[in-house]
Copies of this chain bind each other. A is one copy, B any other.
Amino acid sequence: MSSPRRNARGSTAARVSPRRRPSQERSRAMVERILDAGRQVLAEYGYEGASTSRIATTAGISPGSLYQYFPHKDAIVSAVLERYSDTLVSSVTTRMSGHFEQPAPVIVRATLAALLEGLDVEPPLLRAAVEHGPRLDDGRALRAFEQRIGELVRAYLTTQRGGLRPDAPLDTAVWMLVRTVEHLTVRYLLDRPLIPREQFLEELTRLALNYLRPAP
């Protein structure tokens, strides 16, 4: 299910011994603290305003301490966005898993609503993810996100196979659906078109459901 996770500190994690020493626990706690501060600063000031000194101040540590864990701002931003993506995948997974027996319009709409809510918490964070994420990691985090959501969608569609149009190529359909929903949701939240939220959710649900409906 999950693709290999990149680590915020590059190859360091690979050398961590399975037995925890107090210094490792302190390191982990410090990384968490810096990432929490990084997320907070990104959400408040956006990418441009997220300086390492501001992040260090918010974390209540010195810039020197920060640089012991992250070489530069983009390393923090990249790690914050990776955690953001993990949280989103978790919330969507939680919403779908174990509810596959619900009627399709119910589970699809609830899942799309969970995605929309998850993405809508901090618009500057979403903007940073869209505008800088691909540059920072060459699109790896986005591809991992799409891969994990895609596996979930594939599992769901497999249980629904009997109700779908029989000629639908499943892998292609998953590829199309994941990117369509992701892109429209992001554009809706960032561009703020004059479309009521409930109507957007309703139409997105229709778009996704009708695509695989059997021909009349």
Contact = CB atoms under 8 A, between A and B. Distances in A.
A156 B24 CA distance: 63
Contacts of A173: 203
A169 B213 contact: no
Contacts of A203: 168-169, 172-173, 176
As for how many copies of this chain the complex holds, the number is 2
A interface, over-half SS: helix
Contact of A172 (B176, B180, B200): B200
A169 B193 CA distance: 14
A184 B193 contact: no
Nearest to A182: B183
B199 A169 contact: yes
Interface string A153-194: 000000000000000110111011001100110010000011
Interface stretch (A26-34, A73-81, A204-212): A204-212
A214 to B, nearest CB: 8
Interface of A: 131, 134-135, 168-169, 171-173, 175-176, 179-180, 183-184, 187, 193-195, 199-200, 203-204, 206-207, 210-211, 213, 216
